[in-house]
Amino acid sequence: MTLVPGNVFGFWMFVVISVIVVYMIRASQNDKIQVSIRTIPGLEAIEECVGRATEMGRPIHFSPGLGDVVSDSVPDTLAALQILSYVTDIAARYDSQLLVTIRMPNVYPLAVETVRQAYTAANKGDAYKDNTVRYISSDQDAYAAGVIGLMHQEQVASSILAGLYMGEALLLAESAARLGIMQVAITASVMQVPFFVAACDYTVIGEELYAAGAYLSNDKGRLGAIAAQDYIKLIVIAITILGTIVTSFGSTFIQELVTK
């Protein structure tokens, strides 16, 4: 078994950074390193969102996005579920009603489990009701239409949109804005960010989505993974700068090395 040409560097980089990630997660869990994360204002606003809903006595809506757990959107969806766990926790503390809408059937059982566990952890097990988490439709347009209808019916006060989004981002955000709903959007879907920036009160952008779970839960293992992510970025930055300098001197050594 040998490596296909063009993947030698990639493979070894994969191995090295995997080791970094696992090491950082373990080190952080065993308190060998202390990881502190910079503030992400949009995530701080989640509590304000829930507070507003409580004051108004109306429900708060959460969507874990349009992604699935069986495609390349796994990371986005899992990150959104981590945020859901935090939102449920706050909602339980403030005694405000939570409403979760689901697009992908595979995500449904996971969301139910997440919400139930968070309520139990906050000693509010009985606050969980059968219709807290609702499956709408697996078609993205039909999902958007369903959520908009629900926002009208239930007089939602604030809405948190996390995870992967596609073209319906604007359908959701703009209809909610027209109803005067306070919104926080957390997404790595670059194409949808402009609409969220326009229509939502707070927008959390790009990679911040993957950091949100660690940020909100303060879970040491997850924080370690974020620190590892930063090291990988620093490595990429270093390679890019080095490559630019070497290229400027007329050599393509770095390009050839990394694509070897």
Partner 1 sequence: MQISTNIWQWISVACIFGMWSLPLYKDNPFYRVCQNIFVGSCAGHAIGIAVGNMVKYGFQPVIQQSQLHLIIPIVLGILLYARFFPSVAWLSRWSVAFLVGVGVGQAIYSSLRSQVINQAVAAMTKFPGETLGTTVNNLISIIGLLAVLTYFLFTIPQTRFVKGFSQLGRWLMMVTFGVGFGNVVSGRLSVLLGELLKIFQDWLGLI
Partner 2 sequence: MNLIDKLQNVDTRIIYIVLLITLSIPLLHPIGIPMQINPMTRAVYDIVEGLDPEKDIVLLSMDYMPGAGLDAEVCPIAVVEHLMERGIKWVAISFGTTDGPMMTNRIITDLERRGYKYGEDFANLGYMAGGENAIRLFALDCLSVPTDVRGNRTSDLPVMQGIRTIKDFAFVMQFSASTPEAWIRQVVDPMGIAFATGTVTVCVPSLVPYYNSGQLKGVMGGVSSAAQYEILCNKPGRGASMMDAQSMGHLIIIFFIVLGNIGYFLSKRTKENLAAK
Partner 3 sequence: MRKEVPLLITLIVSIIVMLSRITTGPVPLIGISMPELFEEYISPWMTVVSAFALCLASVNLIMVHSGNISRKRQEWVYSLILLVTLIIYGAFCTYVELNPDNETAAANYSLIYNYILSPLMTGQWACLAFYVASASYRAFRARNLEATVLLVSAILVMLGAAPVGSLIWSKFPTIQQWLLDVPNMAGQRALLIGAAIGSFVASLRTMLGIERSHLGIGGSS
Residues at the site binding partner 3, with contacts judged by CB under 8 A: 1-4, 7, 10-11, 17-18, 21-22, 25, 69-70, 72, 74-79, 81-82, 85, 104-106, 108-110, 113-114, 135, 137-138, 141, 144-145, 167-168, 170-171, 173-175, 177-178, 188, 190, 194-195, 197-199, 206-207, 209-211, 219, 221-222, 225, 228-229, 232-233, 236
Q: What, of partner 1, partner 3, partner 2, none, does residue 166 touch, CB below 5 to 8 Å by kind?
A: partner 2
Does 27 help bind partner 2 (rule: CB under 8 A)? no
Considering only residues 1, 36, 38, 72, which one is a binding residue for partner 2 as defined by CB under 8 A? 72
By the rule CB under 8 A, 1 interacts with partner 2? no
Q: Which does 13 bind (CB under 5 to 8 A by kind): partner 3, partner 1, partner 2, none?
A: partner 1
Report d(CA 189, CA 173) in Å as an integer: 14
Q: How far is CA 169 from the centre of its chain?
A: 15
Assign residue 16 a region (left: φ > 0; alpha: ψ between -120 and 50; beta: otherwise): alpha
Give me the helix-helix angle, 74-94 and 107-121, nearest 10°: 30
Q: How many residues in the chain?
A: 260
Q: Which of 20, 69, 166, 239 binds partner 2 (CB under 8 A)?
A: 166
Residues facing 202 on adjacent strands: 184
